[in-house]
A and B are shown apart, each in its own frame.
Chain A
Amino acid sequence: MAAQNSQVHLVIGSHFEDIELVQIVVEESLRKLELDDEVAHSISLAVGEAVANAIKHGNRQNPEKRVEIDFGVDDNEVVIEVTDQGRGFDPDNVDDPLVADNLLRPNGRGILFMTNFMDHIDFSFKQEGGTVVTLRKRLPSAAMAPGPSEEN
């Protein structure tokens, strides 16, 4: 992953109860960056959604399959990767939860949460199986600073 500093690597089983543990670690890592509480909360929520999707849709709650979480920070942004051991999916074929017909569905909003709370998300798929969700959030100081980093 792109992150150079403050690297944290977590591995959990496919249990929803463990999401809170991941969020506690992420929030503690963010606290060291002295991020605004609201920004930290948003990142934590997005990570929770990514891990929940990994457990539910990726690993299909198979307790023998793992979810790996990599958290890092470089000069410009917080980068979190969430990797499952599932079969992957087509991100272009996910129903839009904001379409009127989908508004009252009880699920299908996880990616919407992630895209709203992070600056950038993308999905990649490993040849041997497994989806990697990468979440990026620019740090406020970097976001305010003009310069060549814009080209990223």
Chain B
Amino acid sequence: MDIGVRKESGVTILEPKGKITIGVGDIALREKVHNVLDEGEKNILINLAAVTTIDSSGIGELVSGYTTVTNRGGKLKLLHLPPKVQDILQITQLVTVFEVHDDEGEAVSSFG
């Protein structure tokens, strides 16, 4: 899986493309989040606009990333949820956990 990385005003924006599913992208996402943390960055925004499919393992990696970043004193937020991912966050009730944004500028500003 291809995961783009860029920085805006102290926020690292990850942009995974394609599938975040077991054996296809889930480990890549985990490693990318850990790499960002190891570089000393603590504010992560994951842009999911180009994600076509996410399964329970992919959702698990988002949750795992969220708890890891939070435990290290950082914040992990989500941007541009495709309808399929939005549905899954509803089903799993993780909409109550993740802060989700539709506008990148607002999302970046929200990290404070």
- Interface residue ranges, A against B (CB under 8 Å): 15-17, 19-20, 38, 41, 45, 48-49, 52, 97-98, 103-107, 109-110, 112-113, 116
Contacts and interface: CB of A to CB of B under 8 A. Distances in A.
Given A106-B60, A106-B61, A16 B55 contact: no
A6 B66 CA distance: 43
Interface in B54-112: 55-57, 59-61, 63-64, 66-67, 84, 88, 91-94, 96-97
A143 to B, nearest CB: 19
Contacts of A19: 21-23
A98 B22 contact: no
Instruction: Classify the interface of chain B: helix, strand, loop or mixed.
Output: helix
B92 A109 contact: yes
A98 B93 contact: yes
Contact of A113 (B19, B55, B61, B67): B55
Contact of B21 (A38, A48, A97): A48
B5 interface: no
B57 A52 contact: yes
Contacts of A98: 92-93
A107 B53 contact: no
Contact of B92 (A38, A45, A49, A112): A112
B56 A113 contact: yes
A17 B94 CA distance: 27
Contacts of B94: 103
Given A15-B23, A19-B22, A103-B97, 12 more contacts: A17-B23, A20-B23, A41-B53, A52-B22, A52-B55, A103-B94, A104-B67, A105-B60, A105-B63, A106-B60, A109-B60, A116-B91
Interface in B26-76: 53, 55-57, 59-61, 63-64, 66-67
Nearest to A18: B23
A107 B60 contact: yes
Contacts of B67: 104, 106
A108 to B, nearest CB: 8
A125 B88 CA distance: 29
